Amino acid sequence: MESKPKQIHNSQFSIDDTVFESEDSVLIFDKPYQCTSFDLVAKVKKAIKHKFGKKVKVGHAGTLDPLASGLMIVCTGQMTKKIESYQGAEKEYTGTFLLGSTTPSFDLEKEIDAEFPTEHITAEMIRAAAQQLTGEIEQIPPQFSAVWIAGRRAFHYAREGENVELSPRRIQITEFEITRINLPEVDFRIVCSKGTYIRSIARDFGLLLESGAHLTALRRTRIGNFHVENALNCTPNDERKVFTKKENEYFAMGLMSGTSLDGLDIAFCKFYQRGKKWKYHIIKCETVDYDDEWRKKLQSAPTLSAYELALLHRDFGTFMANSVKNFLTELPERPDFIASHGQTVFHRPDLHLTTQIGSGAEIAALTGIRTICDFRTVDTALGGQGAPLVPIGDELLYNQYDACLNLGGFCNISFTENNKRVAFDIAPCNMLLNYLAQKINLPFDKDGEIAQKGKILPDLLNQLNGLEFYQKAGAKSLGKEWFDSHIIPIIAKDFAMDDLLRTAHEHIAAQIAHIINQHQIQSILVTGGGAKNEFLIDLLQTKIPNSQIVVPDIGTVDFKEAIIFAFLGLLRIKQINNCLRSVTHSTRDNCGGAIYEGY
């Protein structure tokens, strides 16, 4: 049941804002290996906003896989209108095929699933195969691709183990040059049309040779008249500096598994102090998808017998330990410690009860790394809510913002008021939106595209806004039990799904805006999956005209909670309080976390 990463975020590069001569620019970048196209665009957005002091529209003219490097065109401001013309331009790639083996993704994203003989392959056969794949051909995209099928990307089906039928597409291979043969490796240069998957070329190349092949290296060198040698280099952060640890600097890893059950978030960071302020640098972040079997096991955890739950606690710890070991494979350093949140099964602070599974002892034993877990039970034993725990990290790591807003399964906020940090859950967020989207067989409503087509249902909105929870003041938290008993009965009505989603977006934005306006909060750092929902963010901004929403780089958006749990582990090691009485209403500030030594 081991799962592979769904996305890797490499934050070891930055973009200098001096590259922007105006808000309306066409820029060409040499995208680094293991950086997603979304990462690059996010960093451009951050840099251009820093340069001009306001949000500027940014888009790219064609994605490039994380495992590929090379040319990407990024347009800003009014020049985004030219994106479509650039997308249709001819492209040139160089790379390497490895003959004799295949993978499900046709590249290095997945492990080898079959091996084939190569002894019969000659240089003449290789050049003949390249010739056969030159010209106008029909190509079937990879199962692991972004092609839309029934409202979902093909790779979603592939990662769930479901094979779907992809229709062939007509493409043009203008040039296919073999530049080096050193079996089992073959280097190439390909010039092709829009919509060409070089990974599929690798598959077809292997078949023509009566063997197998997959892509092991890829670089885009040209788009139309734009050449990579003229591209802007993303400024690399010196890896030697990243992995050089001075006194009072710490390598820390945070593990986070949330209510959405998307997967295990892993954040590896270096923490250090500058004066009295804590700083951090993201070394690497990754999300390990849960397959259907793991998702079902975790969903069923509250209904298990005591013995079955104990076994799942152990097994989930093993899963996390193996995920950590895979994550660390290509890194030159190990963390000083691992801080694991685990998966919440029960949370009843009124009974002084909270339970998170994922054995810290298993993680420490299998990785050999000191592991801190069970962060919440000290606070609930002291009469606190045991949640939220993130606000201490908000206060010490992100204090340049007036408030930190997380748009996860629930939306929660933390800010300083009367010299004390306060925090609480506001309303359901992705738990509600995804619940509705899944009713029409979609994992989520991307960018609120369906919601935007709907209309607000006034009576339904009034019922949602009238819930007793929203009248409570002070420390308060939400859980799935509350969602099941209070939200589902209201939305279980026979309405059009676009109207339900539109009303849900309105409800969420209204509840957040009420809190922000009530407390006159000026700048808000927004993270979590909902930060990528453009419709929700735009809707919220219209309701808080006097406040500034800041959506940071994608690493922080997706992994802030894992980063902060790594930091909570650091505070625990240093015996500094990592849970605030002002937030949880426990009898005192406290330092939670059980420590299991590695070796």
φ, ψ of residue 421 to 5 degrees: the values are -80, 130
DSSP state of 281: E
Among 406, 408, 480, residue whose Cα is nearest residue 444 = 408
Distance CA 488, CA 322 (A): 36
Please report which helix (H) or strand (E) contains residue 37, including its range. Answer: helix 37-52
**How far, rounded to the nearest angstrom, does the alpha carbon of residue 68 sit from its chain's CA centroid?**
18
Q: What angle do CA 66, 81, 22 make, to 5 degrees?
A: 85
Distance CA 450, CA 16 (A): 36
Collapsed DSSP state (helix, strand, coil) of residue 352: coil
Please report which helix (H) or strand (E) contains residue 465, including its range. Answer: helix 458-465
Instruction: Please confirm, yes or no, whether 498 is among the known catalytic residues.
Output: no
Distance CA 242, CA 268 (A): 11
Among 453, 383, 333, 406, residue whose Cα is nearest residue 562 = 406
Distance CA 269, CA 243 (A): 10
Distance CA 90, CA 36 (A): 22
Q: Residue 23 burial (CB < 10 Å; 0-12/13-18/19+)? A: middle
Q: Which residues contact 523 (CB under 8 A, 6 or more apart)?
A: 401, 402, 403, 547, 548, 550
Q: What angle do CA 571, 574, 575 make, to 5 degrees?
A: 80
Q: Which of 16, 17, 24, 65 is catalytic?
A: 65
Looking at the DSSP assignment, which residues form a beta bridge with residue 8?
A: 286
Contact indicator for 39, 10 with CB cutoff of 8 Å: yes
Distance CA 198, CA 567 (A): 41
Contact indicator for 280, 269 with CB cutoff of 8 Å: yes
Please report which helix (H) or strand (E) contains residue 80, including its range. Answer: none
167-180 in b/e form (b: 16+ CB < 10 A) is: eebebebeebebee
Sort strands 213-223 and 523-527 into parallel, antiparallel or unpaired: unpaired
| Radius of gyration of the chain from its Cα atoms, rounded to whole angstroms | 25
User: Taking the CB of residue 417, how many other CB atoms lie within 10 A of it?
Assistant: 11
Q: For residue 390, what are its two tokens?
A: 């993130």
In the chain, what is the straight-line distance between the N-terminal and C-terminal CA atoms, in Å?
A: 26
Could you give the count of Cα atoms lying within 13 Å of 321 in the half-sphere of its Cβ? 23
Distance CA 477, CA 466 (A): 17
Active-site residues: which are they? 65
